[in-house]
Amino acid sequence: MKTTYLLKSELLKGGLPLATPLWLAPLAGVTTPPFREFFTQLGASLTHTEMVSCAGLVRGNRRTLEMLQVLPTEAPVVLQLFTGEADLMVRGAEAALALTASGKAGPFAALGLNMACPMPKVTKRGAGAALLSSPETAFRMTREVRSLGLPVWVKMRRLAEDDRTMEFVEGLLRAGADNVCIHGRTAAQRYEGRADRQVVLDAARRFPEKISASGDVREFEDIREYLEGGCVGVMLARGALADPWLFPGALALLGCSVSPDLAAPSPAERFERLASLGERAKSLVGERQAVLMLKHLTFGLLRGINGAAELRCRAGCSKTLEELLKVFQVGALQSLEDKHVSASVEWKGEEMGRKGIS
């Protein structure tokens, strides 16, 4: 019997009515409005902004404020905030909510507190994963931001010891966190090595309906393991960049209603959607930024085809959207040719077998 993984809003404290358990994680330089809209179309029922600096919000920094824009065609968006100071976290959240109330930003479904980013430029300020070493500050942030009214979703990494991870999660939940997403790597690992899934699954069993998963989610089996292990949702990050169609493909296998052109698109259909994304991004954020964002999808689109290395090099050197889309188009055509050759070889092999030729 096929299981359909649909969330009920009452399962999530704070009442986020999410249709599916597959969500887009925050990604620096990627999860901008056009990209969030793109992944919404592919089936993400929740997305995140990029990491937004609370200091920038309080100062009214123009670049920071631009990151608060949300399109009406997006899935619910979590505003992902970062700072190392509890007071500044609250002031930043209040500034964002004031802009939302005036119609100049958002709307946002929840406030996200980043306690996961391992990069030195963030952690040296006491922010991101550095908060794992300052639990009282982290818990105070959670408690005070939760008092502002929106659900609070915390993204964290596992600590070096499993029992400390559980204690930290419990502290966040006691402080009012509605959902805790655990990335199975430690801050010291950054993005190297493998994510520890067991600690995430242990937390999901210990804190039912409160834990979502992140880290090394690259195929359907990864998603299924987390969901069957008790996680209420799975956040896709680098796996979504490697294969954006992991969203609809996995949703179809989970029993959700997904149109065939999304679940199993042809190379031409993939190219068409990426071309539309490029034009949409160009109109919203400008050509330079659109090209930079689309390059994040290059590896996944060109993976496994003949001449992929050369095409990736050409994509990396592309300066305009037209140049980059030409590379994608060549990749799509090459993929079709590879499939044709493969099918031809397979057919000839069957013919030779029937004739007793080896």
Mean pLDDT of 152-168: 97
Closest among 130, 156, 153 to 142, alpha carbons compared: 153
CATH numbers and ranges of domains, the chain: 9-263 (3.20.20.70), 267-354 (no CATH)
- Computed on alpha carbons and rounded to an integer, the radius of gyration of the chain in Å comes to 22
Is residue 197 within 8 A of residue 225, CB to CB? The reply is: yes
* Type of residue numbered 191: Y
Cα–Cα distance measured from residue 161 to residue 172, given in angstroms and rounded to the nearest whole number? 17
What residues are labeled active site? 117
> What integer pLDDT is reported at residue 12 of this predicted model?
46
Average pLDDT over residues 185-201: 94
pLDDT, the chain, mean: 88
pLDDT-derived band at 338, boundaries 50, 70, 90: low
Cβ 202 vs Cβ 162: under 8 Å? yes
Per-position DSSP letters for 279-304, written without gaps between them: HHHHHHH-HHHHHHHHHTTHHHHHTT
pLDDT of 349 > 50? The answer is no
Kindly state the percentage of the chain with pLDDT values over 90: 72
Check if the beta carbon of residue 246 is closer than 8 Å to that of residue 221: no
Average pLDDT of span 204-228: 96
CB 129 within 8 A of CB 187: yes
In the prediction, which pLDDT does 335 show? 65
Per-residue pLDDT band for 206 (boundaries 50, 70, 90) equals very high
Alpha-carbon span 156 to 172, nearest angstrom:
10
The pLDDT of 52-71, averaged and rounded, is: 97
* Rounded Cα gap, residues 210 and 142, in angstroms: 15
For 272, residues 6+ apart whose C-beta sits below 8 A from its C-beta are none
Determine the Cα–Cα distance for residues 139 and 137; give it in Å rounded to an integer.
6
Please give the full DSSP string across 304-336, using - where no structure is assigned: TSTTHHHHHHHHHH--SHHHHHHHHHHHHHHHH
Can you give 160-213 as a three-state secondary structure string? CCHHHHHHHHHHHHHCCCCEEEEECCCCCCCCCCCCCHHHHHHHHHHCCCCEEE
pLDDT of residue 342 exceeding 60, the answer is: no
Closest-CA residue to 139 (of 112, 172, 170, 169)? 172
Give the closest residue to 58 by CA, choosing from 27, 85, 21, 23.
85
Q: Residues near 188 by Cβ (< 8 Å), separated by ≥ 6? A: 118, 160
Element holding 81 (H helix, E strand): strand 77-82
At residue 151, φ and ψ (nearest 5 deg) are -60, 150
Residue 348 has pLDDT above 80, yes or no: no
Of 301 and 179, the one with more pLDDT:
179
What percentage of the chain exceeds 70 in pLDDT?
89
Report CA-CA distances (Å) from 2 to 166, 228, 251, 287, 314. 32, 13, 12, 44, 43
CA nearest to 202, candidates 250, 235, 169, 173: 169
3-class DSSP state for residue 101? helix
Residue range 245-289, pLDDT digits in tens: 999 999 999 998 888 888 888 877 888 888 899 999 999 999 999
| Residues 284-332 pLDDT 10s | 999 999 999 999 888 777 777 778 888 889 989 999 999 998 888 887 7
* Closest to 320 in 3D by CA, of 348, 263, 278, 355: 278
pTM equals: 0.88
Task: With beta carbons less than 8 A apart as the criterion, state whether 222 and 279 touch.
Answer: no
Please compute the mean of the pLDDT values over residues 222-246 and round it to a whole number. Answer: 95
pLDDT(4) > 70:
no
From the CB of residue 308, how many other CB atoms can be counted at a distance below 10 Å? 17
CB 43 within 8 A of CB 258: yes
